[in-house]
């Protein structure tokens, strides 16, 4: 499932993240690459254990916890601490797939990467190129969202970032382990949840059909969830 999550960061949070990342120590983005990705990747990245990345990442994680659409779509079990990258001057990331397991260096924290996320931090009119191109089952999907908006997509997808030919593209990116491993099951749960929410807004939470469908949602989640 590929879904855009609008306004994950409001204007104030976006300003704080931008201020923190602007003063960070940007280094070679291949510090966190696997062997295949390293061949295709040309960008810069904040050190994941640096003060700037930790502080900005905490703002992103707090915002995610208050984003109901994200929670409904991802059903997150574990979230890898957000990382931050920057593209400029023709930098790009060729076609690749994300590692199945992500480990935080120096700790025993690891996740199975079911979902990947990119949170855009710059006004799309301020740079040329930098589109995230995801190879979806319906063909390539080109994504370039407003600042503060996020795209969520299966980590198993082939994807790339086109060259940035003007300006600077800065984004947060991270991976999630969902409570529901199977993307098809997660998609059905999301569709059911959204239908229940729409029906509840029309009929009220106490409506018999709403109650019945809510029970169906939770029973399916109980059947499919790992935790």
What pLDDT was estimated at residue 33?
A: 57
What pLDDT was estimated at residue 161?
A: 98
Q: Average pLDDT for residues 81-104, to the nearest whole number?
A: 96
Q: Which CATH architecture has domain 3-178?
A: Sandwich (2.60)
Least confident piece of the model among 26-30, 35-39, 219-223: 35-39
Q: Average pLDDT for residues 130-158, to the nearest whole number?
A: 95
So where are the chain's domains?
Answer: 3-178, 183-224
The yes-or-no verdict on residue 127 having pLDDT over 70 is yes
Question: Of all helices (H) and strands (E), which one includes residue 165?
Answer: strand 164-166
What pLDDT was estimated at residue 22?
A: 94
Q: Check for a shared fold between 3-178 and 183-224.
A: no
Share of the chain above pLDDT 90, in %: 88
pLDDT in tens, 12-23: 999 999 999 998
Q: Average pLDDT for residues 181-207, to the nearest whole number?
A: 97
* pLDDT band at residue 39 under the 50/70/90 scheme: confident
Using left for φ > 0, alpha for ψ between -120 and 50, and beta otherwise, residue 87 falls in beta
pLDDT in tens, 56-68: 999 999 999 999 9
What pLDDT was estimated at residue 136?
A: 85
* Average pLDDT along the chain: 94
| Cα 183 to Cα 88, 120, 142, 219, distances in angstroms | 33, 23, 20, 18
Share of the chain above pLDDT 70, in %: 96
* CA nearest neighbour of 91 among 25, 29, 17: 29
Using left for φ > 0, alpha for ψ between -120 and 50, and beta otherwise, residue 182 falls in beta
183-224 CATH choice from 3.30.70, 4.10.860, 2.60.40, 1.10.3470: 4.10.860
CA distance linking residue 102 with residue 115, whole number of Å: 11
């Amino acid at each position: 499932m590929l879904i855009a999550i609008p306004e994950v960061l409001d204007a104030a949070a976006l300003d704080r993240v931008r201020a923190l990342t602007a003063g960070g120590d940007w280094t070679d983005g291949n510090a966190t690459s696997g062997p295949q990705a390293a061949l295709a990747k040309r960008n810069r990245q904040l050190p994941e254990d640096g003060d700037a990345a930790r502080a900005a990442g905490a703002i992103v994680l707090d915002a995610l916890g208050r984003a109901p659409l994200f929670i409904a779509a991802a059903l997150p079990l574990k979230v890898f601490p957000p990382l931050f990258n920057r593209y400029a001057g023709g930098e790009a990331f060729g076609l690749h797939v994300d590692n199945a397991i992500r480990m935080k260096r120096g700790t025993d924290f690891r996740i199975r990467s079911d979902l990947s996320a990119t949170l855009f931090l710059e006004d799309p009119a301020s740079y040329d190129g930098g589109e995230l191109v995801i190879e979806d089952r319906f063909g390539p999907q080109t994504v370039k969202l407003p600042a503060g908006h996020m795209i969520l997509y299966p980590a198993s997808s082939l994807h790339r970032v086109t060259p940035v030919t003007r300006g600077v593209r800065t984004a947060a990116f991270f991976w999630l382990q969902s409570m529901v491993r199977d993307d098809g099951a997660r998609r059905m749960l999301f569709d059911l949840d959204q239908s229940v929410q729409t029906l509840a807004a029309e009929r009220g939470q106490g409506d018999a059909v709403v109650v019945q469908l809510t029970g169906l949602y939770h029973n399916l989640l109980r059947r499919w969830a790992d935790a």
